Each structure stands twice: as C-alpha cells, then as structure tokens.
C-alpha cells in the first residue's frame, strides 16, 4: 500500500474513533528502534494528570494467535523507568499531579520474515486503562523502510490509524492516532529488507490433546530419570530379596530344634511377615504343651459339633504376646469352652498381634512392625498414583507435558508393587529366617524315631506339635505318634470316655480348625 493510499484510508477511518470522554486528557509518545539483532528498543512517554498520586496500568501483550497450531510469543525484558513497575505482565505507572513518566523496555520476537521483506509488528501505543487524547509512534531501523501500515482500536481492529508517514530518506516512520479509548491499542507494522534484523518469530505450539503427550526436553528428562530410578529400584529389590537366599545358603548343618528357642508364633510371623490366625492357633497349642493350660475334649453325639474346655494350668513365665493371649482366652475365668470364644475375643486379638509384632521388632528381625512398614509404602504409592490421574488430565489440557502425569502414575504403581515385593525383614531377620527354614526342612522330613521308646516319641511329638501347626505339617507330624490302643492321655490333652491315642490325630485336627475358626472372626 502506498503512502497516499495509507493517508486516504486513515482519513476515512478518523470518524470511527471517539474522542476522549469526560475531558480526561492523556498523551502517549513512543519511540521504537529496531537493531540489527532483531531486538526492538522501546521508550514510552506517558503524560497524564495523576492527581494526588494515582496509578494507571497497561497490559503488556506477550502472546497472540499465529495460526491454527501456534501462538506467537513476545518477550518483554529490561523494563525500567521511575514510577514504573511490572507485575504479571501488567505495567503500572504512578505519578503526582500532571506530569510525564518515561518507561523503556526491550522486545524480542516482534520481527518475522514476510515474503521478500522482514516485518516488524508491535502494539506500540495505548492499551492503558485510561483513554488517550493522542498517541504518536516513531520507528527507526537498521535499513531503509520498505512499507508501513497501522491499525487502531481493539487488538483485532482492521481500522487504520489517523496517519502513517515516513521521511524522505525512508529511515523513519511516524504514526499518529487522534484518540484511543481505554484498553484500545495502536498497532504499527513496518517492513524492512529481508535479513535486516536477522530475527525470526518466537512460536509456541498451543497445548491440545494431540500434542499433550509428545516427548519434550522436560518430559524426556523426566522419563529418563524415571527409567533410571526404576532400574535402581529393581536392582535394590532383587538384591534385598536375594538376601534371604544368600543367608539360607550359608546354613550348611541341619537345624534339629527351633533356632534360639523361638516360639511357634514368633517363627510363623518371621516366615510369613505377618501375624495370622495360624500363628495364634499354634501359640494356643504351645501354651497347652508347655502346661500353661489344659485341653479337655467333651463327649458328643455322632452329629454334634466337637467342643473342648480350656482350663488354666501353671501360670509360669510368658512372653508379652502370650500373656495378652492368655488373658484374652480366660478373661478372669478358670475355664472356658471353645464354643464360647467365637466372636468374644474382640479387640484383644488385635493386641495379641501388636504384641507379637513388637516382639519380632525387639528380636531385631524387623526394623518396623511388618504390617506398618510395608503399609506406609503401599499407601504412599497409591496416593502418588491417585494424584497422577488428575495431574495427567490437567497437564494434558493446559500444556504439552501430559507425560509428567504418567510419570507420577508409573512411579506410584512401581512403589506400590515394590513395597509388596520387598521383604520387611532386617539383615538379622534374614539370618534368623534361614535357620527357621532349615529347621522346617529337617522337621518336614520327619526325624528317625525307630530307635526311640514310646515315651520319647510322645515327648518329641508334643514338644514340636505347635511347630507342625505353624508349618502346616500336622498330618505328616502325626506319624511320630507311637501306635497304641490303650486309653492314655497327655498331661495337656484329655479325651472323653472311650477315647484313645488312635483318635488323637482327628481330635487335634478338629481342635486347630475350631480354634482357627474362633479366631478368624476377630483377627484381621
């Protein structure tokens, strides 16, 4: 467009611009210089009646729509000027009375190639929260100006400004606008020879679902870090899980007795990493075998459910978890039927479990109670995974970094799974486990009892019966009982009239099943 045509268009557009309302008078003079590096140096002079110390504000435009995919970005830096403050892309100017405030700053990204020329486009004047009586913009550049145009009004306005001229040398362009409403701008467009400023526009791909999960430097770094941490975690889990196998391999001699005199409940918790119904049932049998209580099987008819009476025996010395269980069983009574225990133990069995966990921690087999140590990591993993779901949706909606949310989900899932795979035992616990497993192997093979007397076999059977319960080897361990038909009792177990040792295997199986049933309703 030629200069004459520009001026004619501007004259036609004058009637589209309203004057300054309310008699408020403000003026805006802008000087812009484009250097040969493509950086636009801007100096603004704002003349306004600030009264007793008012402020006026202008939003610095830093992003516009470029095409269907990209936004064009402008970097405004080095803002300086007395009474001028920039906060969150808003320029605030303060003054007293009628006066002029000068503000200067640099703009990068205002120049872009356009056909055979290099086009400078900037929203040079206006944009203040007060109307302007006039606005003037002067532009110079590194080479002769090729063409120029301007627009005034709203940001997307197609109305030309009041006037746009350049001097006879083509080195300076001057733009005028008679009046601008509040928040309206004067946009100037000046063309220079190609490569005059050597700059390119700064484009930023808009966030959408199609680009939300692309690999960017940020997401690539996050994925690489996650992969490294997963490999390290996998190696750590493999090493720690292998610690039990390495400790077991160092046990070369058979272990023919409970290592260190550990009780059945302790050894069951050590192996299973949790105190369950079987461990507590085995503890009840162990208390009976050691004489702390007696078990008497009650007579019954053919289709009656079996029942037993538990009676207090010698008190003796009990471990804390055994003492809690003993108190829960009798609750101040001298005897109690097994059928009366179902559902009546209540929270006491939770105390048994907690006391058993405290015992294995005291033994040094676990750093933390087996249930809480693993549970903390599982909860952390679940929380991280749950947080990753909305984070992924939010990041995918607003940015190109949706993969960061997936990183959180994968990390949380890995922590959850890893916590369940990772043994809770300490190194000392791994060594104790190795000896316990060696004892179980010896136990499962059934020791040679052919040379033992019946009394020795009975004593051996009773002594290790609780371990048969906790190892799940009860049927196999029954083979140790010597064959007999006479009505003989153990000190801790008495059958009904007509009962003999041949019936003991079925009796003890029924007893342990009934005890486990009574416990399972209360132990969680």
Q: What is the pTM of this model?
A: 0.56
H runs (alpha helix) in 343-488: 348-362, 370-398, 402-421, 427-444, 454-471, 474-477
Task: Specify which residues 149 forms β-bridges with.
Answer: 189
Long-range CB contacts for residues 310-315, cutoff 8 Å, separation at least 24: 310/335, 310/336, 310/337, 310/338, 311/335, 313/288, 313/492
CB 90 within 8 A of CB 61: no
Residue with tokens 């006491």: 348
* Assigned token pair, 220: 């690539």
Structural Rg of the chain based on CA atoms: 44
Task: Report how far apart the first and last C-alpha atoms of the chain are (Å, whole number).
Answer: 85
Euclidean distance between CA atoms 264 and 284, whole angstroms: 10
Task: Tell me what pLDDT residue 423 has.
Answer: 67
Residue by residue, pLDDT tens for the chain (524 residues) are 443 343 333 333 333 343 433 344 689 999 999 988 889 999 999 998 888 878 888 888 888 877 777 888 888 888 888 778 887 788 888 888 888 889 999 998 888 888 888 888 888 988 889 999 999 999 998 889 999 999 999 888 889 999 999 998 888 999 999 889 999 999 999 998 887 666 778 887 776 666 777 787 888 898 899 889 888 888 887 887 777 677 666 776 778 888 888 999 999 999 888 888 899 999 999 999 999 999 999 998 777 888 999 999 987 889 999 999 999 888 888 999 988 887 666 557 788 888 999 999 999 988 888 777 677 888 888 999 999 899 888 888 877 788 888 899 999 999 888 887 776 788 888 888 888 888 888 878 877 887 888 888 888 888 999 999 999 888 888 888 887 645 556 788 888 887 777 788 888 899 998 888 877 754 44
H runs (alpha helix) in 52-117: none
Euclidean distance between CA atoms 312 and 310, whole angstroms: 7
What is the 3 state secondary structure string of 196-217?
A: CCCCCCEEEECCCCCCCCCCCH
Euclidean distance between CA atoms 145 and 199, whole angstroms: 16
């Amino acid at each position: 467009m030629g200069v004459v045509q520009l001026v004619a268009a501007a004259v036609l557009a004058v009637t589209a611009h309203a004057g300054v309302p309310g008699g408020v008078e403000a003026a805006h003079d802008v000087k812009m210089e484009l250097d040969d590096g493509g950086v636009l140096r801007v100096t603004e002079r704002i003349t306004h009646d600030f009264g007793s110390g008012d402020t006026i504000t202008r939003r610095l435009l830093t992003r516009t729509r470029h095409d269907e995919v990209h936004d064009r970005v402008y970097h405004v830096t080095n803002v300086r000027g007395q009474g001028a403050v920039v906060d969150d892309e808003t320029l605030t100017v303060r003054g007293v009375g009628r006066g002029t405030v000068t503000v200067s700053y640099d703009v990068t990204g205002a120049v872009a190639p356009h056909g055979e020329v290099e086009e400078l486009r900037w929203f040079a004047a206006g944009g203040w929260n007060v109307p302007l009586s006039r606005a003037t913009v002067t532009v110079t550049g590194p080479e002769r100006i090729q063409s120029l145009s301007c627009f005034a009004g709203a940001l997307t306005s197609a109305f030309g400004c009041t006037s746009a001229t350049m001097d006879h040398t083509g080195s300076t362009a001057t733009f005028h606008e008679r009046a601008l409403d509040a928040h309206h701008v004067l946009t100037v467009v000046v063309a220079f020879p190609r490569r005059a400023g050597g700059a390119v526009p700064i484009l930023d791909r808009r966030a959408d679902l199609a680009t939300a999960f692309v690999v960017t430097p940020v997401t690539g770094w996050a994925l690489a870090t996650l992969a490294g941490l997963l490999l390290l975690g996998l190696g750590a889990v493999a090493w720690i899980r292998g610690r039990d196998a390495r400790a077991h391999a160092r046990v070369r001699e058979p272990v023919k007795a409970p290592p260190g005199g550990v009780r059945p409940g302790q050894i069951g918790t050590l192996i299973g990493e949790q105190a369950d119904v079987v461990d507590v049932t085995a503890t009840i049998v162990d208390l009976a075998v050691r004489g702390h209580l007696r078990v008497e099987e009650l007579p019954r008819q053919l289709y009656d459910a079996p029942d037993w009476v538990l009676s207090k025996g010698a008190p003796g010395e009990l471990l804390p978890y055994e003492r809690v269980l003993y108190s829960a069983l009798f609750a101040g009574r001298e005897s109690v039927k097994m059928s009366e225990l179902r559902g009546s133990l209540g929270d006491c069995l939770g105390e048994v479990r907690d006391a058993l966990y405290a015992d294995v921690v005291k033994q040094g087999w676990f750093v933390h109670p087996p249930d809480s140590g693993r549970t903390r990591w599982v909860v952390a993993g679940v929380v991280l995974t749950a947080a990753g779901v909305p984070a992924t949706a939010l990041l995918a909606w607003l940015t190109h970094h949706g993969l960061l949310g997936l990183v959180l989900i994968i990390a949380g899932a890995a922590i959850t799974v890893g916590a369940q795979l990772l043994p809770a035992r300490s190194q000392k616990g791994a060594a104790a486990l190795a000896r316990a497993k060696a004892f179980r192997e010896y136990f499962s093979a059934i020791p040679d009892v052919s040379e033992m007397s019946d009394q020795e076999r009975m004593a051996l059977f009773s002594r290790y019966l609780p371990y048969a319960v906790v190892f799940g080897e009860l049927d196999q361990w029954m083979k140790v009982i010597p064959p007999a038909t006479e009505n003989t009792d153990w000190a801790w177990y008495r059958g009904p009239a007509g009962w003999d040792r041949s019936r003991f295997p079925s009796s003890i199986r029924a007893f342990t099943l009934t005890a486990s049933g009574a416990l399972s309703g209360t132990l969680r």
